Amino acid sequence: MTASWGARAHVRVPATSANLGPGFDSLGLALTLYDDVTVEITEGGLVIEVDGEGAEVADRGERHLIVRVLRRTFEVLDELSGSGLGQPPGIRMSCVNRIPHSRGLGSSSAAIVAGITAARALHPHGDLLDEAAALSLATEIEGHPDNVAPCLSGGLTIAWSGPAGPRSVRLDLEREVVAFVPAQTLATERARGLLPEAVPHGDAAANAGRAALLVAALTGDLDPEVLLDATEDRLHQGYRAPAMPGSAALVDRLRANGVPAVISGAGPTVLAFTTVSRVDSIDPELGNGWLKRPLNVDPLGACVQPPGP
């Protein structure tokens, strides 16, 4: 009997924060802020509905990022299975987006992971794309693994690329954080363009030590004050500060008050390893003009949700 498409897949994907200070392009954290994407196989055509963030790009059709990822994943699964199934006759996609776009919270990685996860659930040979292959494909599309790794697996991840391709290690972590989300956006390409080709050896050495300390501080039973030292960065935040002076100033003020704070990903969101009550105890007006989001670490990563009633 010929294998057939699944009818519908509802996927939930978390926001992510990459770098976490010194862990440039390697450390990532999944957060309890989610996009929900439902993909249905239809008899023909392409329909896209978007509610929330990114609603303005709902009319991109085949150029929509999730649609492109769905198509690419179906191609890969066809190659792996040799089924010759091709593309589905039609797609209807509905998105409820809560992850802010272009704010350093992994919205593009969430879209990529949503597309891959939905395609795996809908394709009759979706199980041929295992977790390692899903990470490799997501990294190929995104360009680096630091956000897609925690989005796929949840928790705290350490990601790297080697001869065998991108890989990641996942660590369990329970911790409260506060995301300070500004109104303004910052394109990742612009933020990366501010980084120099080379950095002083001392700065690179300092970051290597801080990144190792950060993993220990987040997952071990260390003095909480160690986390402040562990989140110090010399590789990217200072170079990017001219593009987000408000974010840089907020990081400096929080850190001056003993709060471990970093730029989330490429910014301009600020991530603080603390609680809203601690922030308010410093100054009730601290962070005014920003959306203060109390969050936790998401433990699951991308999930296919059970079908509704």
Contact 104, 267 (CB under 8 A): yes
Query: Is 102 known to sit in a ligand binding site?
Result: yes
243 marked as part of a ligand binding site: no
What 8-state DSSP symbol labels residue 126? Answer: G
208 is annotated as contributing to ligand binding: no
Helices 65-81 and 107-122 pack at an angle, to 10 degrees, of 40
Q: Which residues pair with 19 in a beta bridge?
A: 23
What is the rounded distance in angstroms from the CA atom of residue 176 to the CA atom of residue 173? 10
Distance CA 156, CA 30 (A): 7
* Segments in the chain forming alpha helices (H): 65-81, 107-122, 131-142, 148-153, 188-193, 201-219, 225-230, 237-240, 245-256, 276-282
4 assigned binding-site residue: no
For residue 107, say whether it is annotated as part of any ligand binding site.
Answer: yes
Handedness of CA 290, 291, 296, 299 (dihedral sign): negative
Q: What angle do CA 109, 237, 259 make, to 5 degrees?
A: 95
The C-alpha atoms of residue 118 and residue 304 are separated, in whole angstroms, by 7
277 known ligand binder: no
Tokens of 244: 């987000």
Q: Residue 126: CB partners within 8 Å, gap ≥ 6? A: 6, 77, 119, 120
> If DSSP codes are grouped into helix, strand and coil, which group holds residue 94?
strand
| Residue 108 counted as an annotated binding residue | yes
State how far the Cα of 206 lies from the Cα of 220, in Å rounded to an integer: 21
Asked whether residue 105 is marked as a ligand-binding residue, the answer is: yes
- How far is the CA of 10 from the CAs of 95, 118, 134, 303, in angstroms? 10, 7, 18, 8
Residue 136 counted as an annotated binding residue: no
* Residue 128, CA atoms < 13 Å, CB-side half-sphere: 15
Annotated binding-site residues read: 100-110
Annotated binding-site residues for ATP read: 100-110
